[in-house]
Amino acid sequence: MQSTSKQMRTVVIGAGQAGLSAAHHLRRKGLVPHEDFVVLDANDGPGGAWRHRWDSLTFDRAHGLHSLPGMDLATPDPREPAAAVVARYYGAYESAFALPVIRPFKVRNVTGSLEDGFTIISTGGRVIRAATVINATGTWDKPYWPFYPGQREFTGRQLHTHDFVAPEQFLGQRVLVVGGGTSAAQFLLQLSTHGIDTLWSTRRAPQWREAPMDKSWGIEIEASVNARTHVGLPPLSVVGATGLPLTDFYQEGIDSGVLVSHGGIDSFSAQSVTFTDGSTEEIDVILWATGFRASLDHLAPLGLREPGGGILMGEDSVSVPKVPGLFLVGYGASASTIGATRGGRAAAVAAGRLQEAAAAEHATVDSL
């Protein structure tokens, strides 16, 4: 293994919104890039999970993209692919603040503790040691695939949001889109504009929200998410917490009949789906727009999970009481881009305070 002998003060895992925000605030606190901290990115270029989004997802259709601290996103061309916009913006941000991003560096596992220090090992065997770890790996690498009776017998193609490229890959086929979030709704509308026959399945009626997504609404959503993670319960899905924004774009889809759910799924056969109302439809493809889970497999050695599957988060919503010195950003209330920005700052501040307290304690011991 290639090992870094010097123990850094902090290692940030992930270079998306949360990771870059944390890195920015670590620099503001006086930490020296490559000496005191680094940012590890599994990708081969800037942009985080956004660099993997399909080209037909234009900037004007991307929800909740917010500026990073210290550099405004400005006003990109609304018809430009969101992936290109964000990759360019994040790259410029890394350069402007001289952030120490190491890529590609895919973390295989993290071991250790605050007392002994943490060891971060890459899939290639490289080792980095740190006093604290800020994890900001998001969800893109952990697509959620539900299971239904007969699903394995279905002979058509099955793919996830994670694997979507363009509507053209479905020409001449009948596509079942499964999921109640914005990705599902956007897929249905995109496919429809290309003349592709679609069906929509959601476990419950689509949760359309007409109220404005203002600051008070955001505070309410954040509080509801924190109520779960502060007792160790898994966070809800994005749509489960926020609902779907009922914009003119989506209203047109409802009026046209494209955005009308057939309800939940009962089972599959070789070439068809049966819904919970007993109706059966022939299909060629299943597009699972069923969301993602937190990408935290590399943290398994630390034993974070509670019996119910969630992670108990501290009152600051980034600290993990079970593993002092570890901070999760992009989990729970900090999963949105605006939440990730705030969470990055909170993690940087909390990591600094923890290290200052440890240094003061050592100084006291040494003086005795």
Q: DSSP 3-state assignment of 176?
A: strand
What pLDDT does 219 receive? 57
Return per-residue pLDDT of the chain as tens, 368 residues: 455 557 899 999 999 999 999 999 999 999 999 999 999 999 999 999 889 988 888 887 776 678 899 999 888 888 888 899 999 999 999 999 999 999 999 999 999 999 999 999 999 999 999 999 999 998 899 999 999 999 999 999 999 999 999 999 999 999 999 999 889 999 999 999 999 999 999 999 988 887 555 555 555 666 777 777 887 777 766 555 567 788 888 899 999 999 999 999 999 999 999 999 999 999 999 999 999 899 999 999 999 999 988 999 999 999 999 999 999 998 877 766 677 888 889 999 999 888 776 655 544 434 44
How far apart CA 128 and CA 119 sit, in angstroms, is 6
How far apart CA 128 and CA 110 sit, in angstroms, is 10
List the chain domain ranges: 3-141+292-367, 151-207+243-288
Count how many Cα atoms sit within 13 Å of the Cα of residue 236 in the half-sphere of its side chain.
16
Per-residue b/e over 20-45, b at no fewer than 16 CB within 10 Å?
A: bbbbbbbbebebebeebbbbbbbbee
How far apart CA 262 and CA 249 sit, in angstroms, is 20
Answer whether 3-141+292-367 and 151-207+243-288 agree in fold: yes
CA distances from 326 to 111, 113, 353 (A): 11, 8, 13
For the record, the structure tokens of 365 come out as: 């011991």
What pLDDT does 212 receive? 58
For the record, the structure tokens of 105 come out as: 């560096």
How far apart CA 226 and CA 314 sit, in angstroms, is 10
How far apart CA 185 and CA 220 sit, in angstroms, is 24
For the record, the structure tokens of 153 come out as: 């017998």
Are 358 and 9 a contacting pair, CB within 8 Å?
no
Specify whether domain 3-141+292-367 bears CATH 3.40.50.720. no
What pLDDT does 126 receive? 94
What pLDDT does 366 receive? 42
What pLDDT does 363 receive? 43
What pLDDT does 98 receive? 96
What pLDDT does 240 receive? 58
What pLDDT does 304 receive? 94
For the record, the structure tokens of 224 come out as: 């509801």
The secondary structure of residue 9, as a DSSP letter, is E
> Do β-strands 107-113 and 272-275 pair in parallel, antiparallel, or remain unpaired?
unpaired
CATH class of 151-207+243-288: alpha beta
How far apart CA 46 and CA 245 sit, in angstroms, is 29
